[in-house]
Every structure is written in structure tokens, then in C-alpha cells.
Amino acid sequence: MAKNLLSSLGISKRTYTAANIAPAKEITQASTYMYGAGTTTVATLLGSGRRQARARQQVYEKWALMESDAVISSALMLLVTTALGGHETTGQMVFIEQNPKFHDNKKMAQMAEEINTDLVDLFNRVAVQVAYTGCAFGDSFARIYSDGRGVIDLYTDEMVRPPLVQSFERGSRTVGYAVYTGDRNFERLNVEQLARCKMPRTQWVPQNGVIEKSLKVALTEDDVDKLPLMPSMAGGSLLYAAEEAYDNFSASLNGLVTQRWMDSINEKILTVNVDGMTKEHQERFLGSIVTMVKKTKAIIESAVKNGVAVSEKITHILPVDNEKQVVQISSPNSENGRSSNISIEDVILHARLMTGAVGGVDLSMIGFSDQLNGGLGGDGGFTRTSAQMAERARVIRTSLVDFFNDIIDIHTMNRYGVVFKPSERPWKLNFYGSISALESERQRTKADSMNSGLLLVGAIQQLKDAGATKEMMQDFLTNEMMLDEEQAKLYAPIVDVKPPAEGEGGGGLPG
């Protein structure tokens, strides 16, 4: 009976296997060569052109350099603060609340309250740092310190920076770490000692280690517990897509600054007429001119170094006789201007590309308010840009939830002797409020839907008043108002509904 009931709900396992799984056995290596696919190898993961494979440390060095840039740092911090929010008075960002599923279970409710009391302050202390590092490097780590009371402290500083930690995975599950610190420059830690915040690997970063990894990985193994222990490749960083834009931005900015410094140099050439002077007089005369120029240079250098402006005019007295004179020639480059100059627009262009690649952040959101399109309201670019950024921020929340849940699992294991299944956890993690830009987009969508509904009601009423038949109403709603046919059939009978008589209740659509 049960088998017949399941069969009525869908096709059987045997039928599905025969139609969809078994045909894979017909694939052979020879058949791939027949259709030109045989040249595909793991070497394609090493990249090409400007995106060539790099060593793991080279990848992290590049991201560390980019992280220190003022514009990128502001963009990352904006994403983090957007994702975490924060109470306007307490500043609390992470909340551990009771799972509504166990609302009537006093034991579970008490456990959730104890977990909140024990860990919420720790989570709020490390949340910003963990999220920021995760955005920059794709991973962030926290050393867990626990005893019989559960987790009592989290360490997230420089000794567990991503370049110093190599994660190892079995399938997609993190099972251990190699940390390159300590007496032997190597320490082995397990998941009870170190927690990992893993950002989604949406882009592949070409790395040398992928070739060695491909020789050992076992994709044909179905038992996840039998998969080999493999190192996790670097990835997940929001900075990878912005690497080229960062290089162009740095080059254009350095070029602009260098150009301004070169233009600030006021170079002069002095010619001195020493005709008729004795050698002694020539040396004294030229020496006084050199001393005069050096004195001026020293005054300017001192003013720049000490930040004190020169408030008086520098005057030198140089006596001359007869036709003896000093002639000034302007800078030899003054008449030969550059054929092209680096302008601020070049820098702004690359800055826009760079910040846009870092999580969809617009340049106007990190202080360049003059870049706003349409101002702060209406249908300008501010809200739309914020919504795109908020979508990325939501991904950060998801990674942090997994990170905090892993820590709570260690806490409950040590304190209560149990690790809950994800569906049976007595707690749930929340962040302060909703992301404002997403809420704004949701309200806008809701308002647009309501306005569209009101227009539809008005059109139906006008068509009914014009004496349309049921067929005419259905055709109009389907072809002109672009409704689904089922909806049109539902609304069309309204032409037969008579308006209520005076004093009677309102009518409605026929059942």
C-alpha cells in the first residue's frame, strides 16, 4: 500500500536510475577525443595570460598589500558593517536567541539562555575582525580555549592570520589545520582548537598546488568518510576580482602624484658674467651665489619638514660692477609641455572599477559623495547601489553563522556532553535588524506591486462599466494586461456580478 502511494507521487528509484544514472557508464576516454575534448586537462586550472598560477604565499601577499590600501580597506569595512549592523545604544551585533521550535521545552530554552550568557560577548568582540579578515583573505580563524565550562575565550590576532594557517578538508568538511608558528614553526590543531570562517569559493584562484592535489583526489569515491585528507586552496577573497583594477589604480595614482611633484619643482639656471675677473674674484663671486641658492633651499626644506610656513620674503643682495650681471634662465622644460597629462578622472575610473569588484561597493559609498547619481533619495543611484552591496553583505552573514555555530558546538560538547544536529539546535543566531538597503528594496517592490494591483482593479472596473462580456474581459486581461490565463479566468466572471443594492453589503467575485 505504501509502495503504491509513493509510486503515485513520482517515478521509482529503478526507473530514475535507468533513465538518468546508468547512461553515464557509456562515457569513455576515447569518446572524448572523438569530439575534440581530449585536450582538456587539470592544467587549465593553472590559468593563463595575466591570471597565471601562483604559490599560496604569493596570493596572500598580494591580498595583504591590497588590504592595506585606503580605498579597499574602507570598502571592506563598509561591507562588514553593513552585514553586522549594530544596536544604536549597546553596539551589539550578534544575538543568540531561543529556537522557536523548542518554545515549549523548558530544558532547551534554559540551555539557549545559558549559551547566550556564556558566548554572546565573545562573539560580539571578534565579529568585526573575523568578518573583515574573511573578506580580505577568504578565510579567518579563531583559536578556541575551552574547559569543562565550555568555550571561555577566542583568540583572533596575528598568530592565526590566514597566511599562517593551512586548512585541511575531507570533501568539503574542514577536519584540521597546520599552523606555521611555535618552536618548530609547525603546530597541528583540530576543529576543537581552531574555528574557521570560510567564505564561499565563488571564483577559482589559479594555484600551483592544484596539480599535486589532482593526483590524490578521489572523485569516484562515494563514501565521504573514505575521501583523502586534502589541503584547502586559497580562495573566497573579495579582493581577487579587483587585483587588476587595483594595479591600474595604483599606477594611475602614483603617476598623478609623481606628475604633481615634478610640476612643483621650480628649476632655474643662472648665468654669471665673470669676464675680466681674476681667478680669486671669480671663485668668491661664484661661491657667494652658490651659498645664496643653498640657503634658500635650506629654508624651504626646513619649512616643509617642520610644517611651518615661510611668512617673509627671502631677499639676497649681490653687488655687481659695470656689465657684470647674473642672468636667470627659466626651467629648460618650461616650453616643452607634456603631450598628455594624467588627470584625476583616470584615477577615479580605476577606483570605481576596483571598489565595484570588491563586493559591489560604489565609490560614492566610501566618502566620495560627489559621485552620487541622483542624490540620496528618489530613483537615484544611491539605493540601488546600496542594495547590490547588501546582497554581498548577506553572504558574509551566512559564513559568520556557520562559524559561530561551530564554536557553539564545541561549547555544548564540553559543557553538556552533546553536539546537536543542525536541525535540532535549541538556539538560533540573529544579527541586529535587517540590512537597510534590502529592506528599502523590499518596500519599493511591495509598493510597486500594490500600485500595479490598483491599476488592474481600475482597468477591470472601467471595462465592466463599458459593458464588456466575460470573453472580452478574459481576452483583455490576458493580452493587454499580461496576466496569466488562469488569473484571467478567475477575474473575468466579475462582469456578471451585480453591484450591491443600497444598504446591502459589498459583493465579491463568484466562488
26/164 same-domain check: no
Does some domain include residue 399? Answer: yes
51/95 same-domain check: yes
Q: How long, in residues, is the chain? A: 511
Res 378 pLDDT > 50: no
What confidence score (pLDDT) does residue 502 get?
Answer: 57
What confidence score (pLDDT) does residue 26 get?
Answer: 82
Contacts of residue 413, defined as CB under 8 A and 6 or more positions apart, other chains included, come to 192, 419
Res 269 pLDDT > 70: no
Phi/psi at 140 (nearest 5 deg)?
A: -150, 155
399/465 same-domain check: no
Percent pLDDT > 90 in the chain is 34
Contacts of residue 340, defined as CB under 8 A and 6 or more positions apart, other chains included, come to none
Does some domain include residue 283? Answer: yes
Quote the number of domains for the chain.
4
What confidence score (pLDDT) does residue 486 get?
Answer: 86
- Would you state the torsion angle of the CA atoms of residues 108, 113, 114, 115, taken in this order, to the nearest 10 degrees? 90
Does some domain include residue 481? Answer: yes
Domain boundary among 381, 399, 433: 433
Contacts of residue 306, defined as CB under 8 A and 6 or more positions apart, other chains included, come to none
Helices (H), 35-189: 56-67, 70-84, 106-137
Res 120 pLDDT > 50: yes
315-325 tens-digit pLDDT: 766 666 666 66
What does DSSP assign to residue 276?
Answer: T
Does some domain include residue 246? Answer: no
Does some domain include residue 445? Answer: yes
112/230 same-domain check: yes
One-character DSSP codes across 311-359:
-S---------TT--EEEE--TTTTS--SS---HHHHHHHHHHHHHHTT
Domain boundary among 329, 345, 373: 329
Contacts of residue 213, defined as CB under 8 A and 6 or more positions apart, other chains included, come to 230, 231, 233
Does some domain include residue 368? Answer: no
For residue 147, what are the β-bridge partners? 150
Does some domain include residue 132? Answer: yes
199/89 same-domain check: yes
208/324 same-domain check: no
103/183 same-domain check: yes
Grid cell of 108 as nine digits:
532547551
Closest CA to 96 of 352, 431, 503: 431
218-260 tens-digit pLDDT: 888 888 888 899 999 999 999 999 999 999 999 998 888 877 7
Name the residue range of residue 17's domain. Answer: 1-40
Which residue's C-alpha cell is 509598493? 447
204/234 same-domain check: yes
Does some domain include residue 153? Answer: yes
CA distance 159 to 179: 9
Residue 442 pLDDT level (bands cut at 50, 70, 90): low
